[in-house]
A and B are shown apart, each in its own frame.
Chain A
Amino acid sequence: MKIEEKTQAIVNEFANFDDWMDKYNYLIELGKSLPLIEERHKTENNLIPGCQSRVWLHADFDGEIVHFTADSDAVITKGIANLLIRTFSDQRPQEILDSSANFLSEIGLTEHLSPTRSNGMLSMLKQIKMYALAFKAKQQMGQS
């Protein structure tokens, strides 16, 4: 599925909820069902800096497709990580680089978008893009 289709699906899901509580309950559910990162990848290096909660992001690359896994000690952050991974995992580096995550404001999670130290949202996005950039460079250098 292309990234735009995935983000549209997410927007549609959240459109079912008017109430902030329902939205957050759904996000919490998503957090609980986040495909987990392997314990051995929960290292200092994989910690996303500048967040109030601890967030680990790990990326694998098979030469074509980037695969992300993540975890956090805060459940809401896990929920957001779930959304980001649904969107950006199993995609090509260039597609990741070309897309944005506008859907976050569309589903009314803007309070998690502010570039304060409080949340890993923007930091996660930045890290995802940086991985994509690095893997793209690898592709271009003919390594895999």
Chain B
Amino acid sequence: MGNRDTVHFSTAGLADIEAIRADFPILRREVYGKPLVYFDNAATTQKPQVVIDALTGYYQTMNANVHRGVHLLSQEATSAFEKAREKLALFVNARSVREMVFTRGCTESINLVAATWGQQNLRPGDEILISALEHHSNIVPWQMLCEHSGARLIVCPLHADGSLNMEEFARLLNTHTRLVAISHISNSLGTINPVKEITRMAHKTGAKVLIDGAQALAHLVVDVQDMDCDFYTFSAHKIYGPMGIGGLYGKEELLLEMPPYQGGGEMIANVTFEHTSYNEPPFKFEAGTPNVAGALAFGVAIDYIQKLGIQNIAKRENQLLDYATQVLKSIPGVVIIGNAEHKASVISFLIDEIHPYDAGTIIDHFGIAVRTGTHCTQPLMDSLGITGTIRASFAFYNTFAEIDLLAKAINKAKEMFL
């Protein structure tokens, strides 16, 4: 495999995009005989060879069940697994590894909080406050919780530009609000929400705060202590790691109080048929054999990102987003959906009266992967009065030339449908 990865890490991060792109084997692919232009990073990101190698390498050299064995292989696997947890905890600036629970991903993390903290704490008359731009994964678990507990779901509206209406947010926060659940970055509009301010305001009225970080971890610095949020959720596959693994950050004092999520091996301290006692956090919330390979590969993805530097990544992605915004705005008939002052990575748009599905089909044939539809944010689309958008979402390995090709495809779609 070689050490070509270190060659371009040592200089100013993202100077050599071609070398970086060479790290991602899938970017060499063709679709319909044309080079793949991957603009669907908000759905899932592509993986550098080192992350792919970590998955297979684990099974080749280190595979054993964790936390249980005395034999060397088991110790190695356990040590590597816990090292990955430590990396993750450091990456988001958690106070300790006890605050970092491995889950299957962001959706499971949110469901975990709803099923444990939520069930334990919510009563009839309590309120859960979310925003109108939430992904279904940060809506449905709360709806389910409200049905069980008798609590009410309250939705904070947006401004026309897709930013959160903070005046309304302040007005909707009240002494009945027990939880605020908001995304850090909107997957449909790219809006970056003021999560630190939201947390401060929520805490003042006595509410806890869960931030859905699915879209954020890859695009900006996440510091859970600085934010002071109570829970922060994320998925590895959105940050160049594998699918099937993610995390839940929770403040230790909360995790200690919460009942367990799933029952089984690993999460127990002692088991008899009469009574079972539970392990401490984070293990209390990790029943069964974990996705050890996934956790290790997640750690490797974080190493990769840190070598490039999140600040460098953010800078490049902002350049791409600015360029795309400029290019798209210059095409007559193209309307950008979501024009908040602070955005990251995502540009959603419509082309005249052309149905997104029609446009997406043509764009697809140019080798460009964009996403069309509601992006798992049906309520948001309803509130905007549209059936869906075309969404391009960028990562640092995308290029300006690729954006030019998107413009070409859009013009072709206009030609064909108008």
* Residues of A participating in the B interface, judged by any CB pair closer than 8 Å: 20-21, 24-25, 28, 52-54, 73-77, 111, 117-119
Extra contacts, 4 of them, besides A24-B365, A74-B358, A76-B357 (Cβ < 8 A), are: A21-B412, A21-B416, A53-B355, A74-B355
Given A20-B32, A28-B416, A52-B372, answer yes or no on A111-B364 (Cβ-Cβ < 8 Å): yes
Can you report 12 residue pairs joining A to B where beta carbons are below 8 Å apart?
Answer: A21-B365, A52-B356, A52-B372, A52-B387, A74-B358, A75-B358, A76-B361, A77-B357, A111-B364, A117-B373, A118-B357, A118-B373
| Interface residue? B157 (CB, 8 A) | no
| Interface residue? B323 (CB, 8 A) | no
Bound-state Cα–Cα, A142 to B387, Å: 43
The answer to whether B362 and A52 touch across the interface, beta carbons within 8 angstroms, is no
The answer to whether B364 and A52 touch across the interface, beta carbons within 8 angstroms, is no
For residue B361, which residues in chain A have a CB less than 8 angstroms away from its CB?
24, 76, 111
Considering the complex, give the chain B residue whose CB is closest to the CB of A72.
B355
Q: How large is the interface on B (under 10, 10 to 19, 20 to 34, 35 or more residues)?
A: 10 to 19
The answer to whether A25 and B416 touch across the interface, beta carbons within 8 angstroms, is yes
| Interface residue? B59 (CB, 8 A) | no
Bound-state Cα–Cα, A25 to B362, Å: 10
The answer to whether B358 and A76 touch across the interface, beta carbons within 8 angstroms, is yes
* Residues of B participating in the A interface, judged by any CB pair closer than 8 Å: 32, 354-358, 361-362, 364-365, 372-373, 387-388, 412, 416-417
For residue A73, which residues in chain B have a CB less than 8 angstroms away from its CB?
355, 387
Considering the complex, give the chain B residue whose CB is closest to the CB of A74.
B355
Shortest Cβ gap from B415 to chain A (Å): 10
Considering the complex, give the chain A residue whose CB is closest to the CB of B417.
A75
For residue A118, which residues in chain B have a CB less than 8 angstroms away from its CB?
357, 372-373
For residue A117, which residues in chain B have a CB less than 8 angstroms away from its CB?
373
Shortest Cβ gap from B73 to chain A (Å): 41
The answer to whether B358 and A52 touch across the interface, beta carbons within 8 angstroms, is no
Bound-state Cα–Cα, A28 to B364, Å: 16
For residue B387, which residues in chain A have a CB less than 8 angstroms away from its CB?
52-54, 73
The answer to whether A74 and B357 touch across the interface, beta carbons within 8 angstroms, is yes
Shortest Cβ gap from A19 to chain B (Å): 10
Considering the complex, give the chain B residue whose CB is closest to the CB of A23.
B365
Shortest Cβ gap from A91 to chain B (Å): 28
Bound-state Cα–Cα, A52 to B362, Å: 15
Considering the complex, give the chain B residue whose CB is closest to the CB of A28.
B416
For residue B356, which residues in chain A have a CB less than 8 angstroms away from its CB?
52
The answer to whether B357 and A20 touch across the interface, beta carbons within 8 angstroms, is no
Bound-state Cα–Cα, A27 to B362, Å: 12
Bound-state Cα–Cα, A63 to B236, Å: 58
B32, B357, B416, B417: which contacts A52 (Cβ < 8 A)?
A: B357
The answer to whether B365 and A52 touch across the interface, beta carbons within 8 angstroms, is no
Residue of B355, B365, B412, B416 with highest tally of chain A CB at under 10 A:
B355
The answer to whether A28 and B417 touch across the interface, beta carbons within 8 angstroms, is yes
Bound-state Cα–Cα, A80 to B192, Å: 39
Bound-state Cα–Cα, A85 to B388, Å: 27
Bound-state Cα–Cα, A89 to B361, Å: 27
Bound-state Cα–Cα, A80 to B202, Å: 51
Shortest Cβ gap from B293 to chain A (Å): 28
Shortest Cβ gap from B115 to chain A (Å): 27
For residue B355, which residues in chain A have a CB less than 8 angstroms away from its CB?
53, 73-75, 77
Considering the complex, give the chain A residue whose CB is closest to the CB of B353.
A73
Shortest Cβ gap from B351 to chain A (Å): 12
For residue A21, which residues in chain B have a CB less than 8 angstroms away from its CB?
365, 412, 416
Bound-state Cα–Cα, A24 to B358, Å: 10
The answer to whether B416 and A24 touch across the interface, beta carbons within 8 angstroms, is yes
For residue A24, which residues in chain B have a CB less than 8 angstroms away from its CB?
361-362, 365, 416
For residue A54, which residues in chain B have a CB less than 8 angstroms away from its CB?
387
Shortest Cβ gap from A34 to chain B (Å): 14
Considering the complex, give the chain B residue whose CB is closest to the CB of A120.
B357
Bound-state Cα–Cα, A118 to B361, Å: 10
Bound-state Cα–Cα, A75 to B360, Å: 12
For residue B354, which residues in chain A have a CB less than 8 angstroms away from its CB?
75
Residue of A24, A74, A111 with highest tally of chain B CB at under 10 A:
A74
For residue A20, which residues in chain B have a CB less than 8 angstroms away from its CB?
32, 365
Considering the complex, give the chain B residue whose CB is closest to the CB of A75.
B358
Residue of B358, B364, B388, B416 with highest tally of chain A CB at under 10 A:
B358
Shortest Cβ gap from B352 to chain A (Å): 12
Bound-state Cα–Cα, A107 to B184, Å: 45
Shortest Cβ gap from A36 to chain B (Å): 17
Shortest Cβ gap from A11 to chain B (Å): 21
